[in-house]
Homo-oligomer: A and B are copies of this chain.
Amino acid sequence: MNEIKIFCPATIANLNCGFDVLGLCLEGIGDEMIIRKSAEKGIRITKITGADLPTETEKNVAGVAALAIIKNMEIDFGFEIEIHKKIKAGSGIGSSSASAAGAVFGINELLGKPFSKHKLVDLAMKGEAIASGCEHADNVAPCLLGGFTLVRGYNPLDVIRIESPNELYAVVLHPHIEIKTADARAVLQPMIPLKDAITQTGNLGGLIAGLYTSDYDLIGRSLKDVIIEPLRKHLIPNFDEVKNSAILNGALGSGISGAGPSIFALCKGQDKAEKVAYAMSESYQNTGIAFDMHISRINQNGVDIITN
């Protein structure tokens, strides 16, 4: 195999109570990448469509992640990467992570899979760091592993894939405004009340338990964020209105996707998800801001090969 075409899914990180530790993988929305072996050594970004991103390997998240995977490998060939972006940069659904994850996944396939998917998460973080300013795994982990993922810790990286119930759907409203991850980080407070940390811990525990036991009510009761959402929601026009419309129409929970501006909701069943998506759209019409809506099951596979 000398060439591979892959689907690199969008992801939702944080999920209310799981700031910097939880994420999930989406179906249907994602980038496509083509990666091929080349006689020339090293990594080259040969084509980018759908976004205005740097083609210099060292400045491109896919390029940096690709360099990380071939580092220290004795190979007498290189790789070319085509990136066809469908996920907009700064959308809050893991655009840069999709590129980083896709690069390491594709190269690993072409090399005969020397690395485990968990190791690929570690390598993809190197690319992610170019976009966010720090190495984190809360989007690359679900993008590569699929499902829900928990980043337990970083020294060393410890990522756990969490089971989730079949009928769980995610709805995403993506307003066409950009919030840079660095700006979203700037509003955070370095110190937080211990009592809020306890509340968040209880909810995170409840969410994990709800996912393992398919307890949708418990999932819903646990999808709360007392630490980050109050500080960040002002960056997103009409956030409260959209969230309230999701909850009032039967969503289990709703919150900021990643660092925003996308707003997500989780729902039980496709019918409910469609109803919630409609209500969220309605509540955003009067902002005058263009937006996309996505409805998706939880993607259990993560990055995957596209076979024609």
Contacts of A199 in B (CB 8 A): 153
Number of interface residues of A (CB under 8 A): 40
Q: How far is the CB of A185 from chain B (nearest CB, A)?
A: 10
- Bound Cα distance from A21 to B204, whole angstroms: 11
For A150, give its contact among B151, B196, B209 (CB under 8 Å). Answer: B209
Q: Report B-chain residues with C-beta under 8 Å of the C-beta of A201.
A: 17-21, 197, 200-201, 204
Q: Which of A152, A193, A194 has the most CB of B within 10 A?
A: A152
Q: Chain B residues near A202: list those with CB within 8 A.
A: 20-21, 150-153
CA distance A187 to B131 in the complex (A): 40
A48 at the interface (CB under 8 A from B): no
Find chain B residues with CB under 8 A from A205 CB.
18, 21-22, 150, 152, 160, 204-205, 208
Contact B160 A218 (CB under 8 A): yes
Q: Do A193 and B191 touch (CB < 8 A)?
A: yes
A204 to B18, CA, bound (A): 11
Give the chain B neighbours of A306 by CB distance below 8 A: none
Cβ contacts under 8 Å, A77 to chain B:
none
Complex alpha-carbon distance, A20 and B192, angstroms: 16
A-B contact pairs, 28 of them (CB 8 A): A18-B201, A18-B205, A20-B201, A21-B201, A21-B205, A150-B202, A150-B206, A152-B203, A152-B206, A152-B221, A153-B206, A153-B221, A160-B218, A162-B209, A189-B194, A190-B193, A190-B195, A191-B191, A191-B194, A192-B194, A196-B197, A197-B197, A197-B201, A197-B227, A201-B204, A204-B204, A208-B209, A212-B213
